[in-house]
Amino acid sequence: MAHKFNITNAANDQFKFDFSYNSEKIFWSENYKAKASAKNAIESLKKNAPDASVADLSKDETGSGYRFEIVESKDGQHFVRFVASNGETMVRTETYASKASAKNAIESLKKNGPGADVSDHA
């Protein structure tokens, strides 16, 4: 099974999506009021993730425009969020024990996101 985006129902008649590989969620979104908004976010990720910069906030790096941010949690682990040019977080990952795993998640979306199928389960 390949990488894919999955649109699913969320609470309060809303929608969410994830980017997965072999049913393992790598990134997931916030809830959207309209399914069309979730679809637009997926298309934006497909278009903007491959060339997005990476800012390691644990090293006080900053960024602008579409970007991945590596964030250190309070317990020293790391997670990734993909931020749109308007500063809104579009998707995030789980918290990883190693920063290398966080970087692998970024590379997975950059490389495999543009060609990933979209499955509508909502």
Q: What is the 3-state secondary structure (H, E, C) of the chain?
A: CCEEEEEEEECCCEEEEEEEECCEEEEEECCECCHHHHHHHHHHHHHHCCCCEEEEHHHCCCCCCCEEEEEECCCCCEEEEEECCCCCEEEECCCECCHHHHHHHHHHHHHHCCCCEEEECC
- Tracing tokens 């997926």 back to the chain, one arrives at 42
Give the number of other CB atoms < 10 A from CB of residue 55.
18
Judging by DSSP bridges, how do beta strands 3-10 and 117-120 pair with one another? parallel
List per-residue pLDDT tens for the chain, 122 residues long. Answer: 599 999 999 999 999 999 999 889 999 999 999 999 999 999 999 999 999 999 999 999 998 999 999 999 999 999 999 999 999 999 999 999 999 999 999 999 999 999 999 999 98
pTM of this structure:
0.92
Q: What is the pLDDT of residue 6?
A: 97
CATH architecture under which domain 3-113 falls:
Roll (2.30)
Q: What is the pLDDT of residue 56?
A: 96
Q: Which two tokens stand for residue 21?
A: 């590989």
Q: What is the pLDDT of residue 1?
A: 57
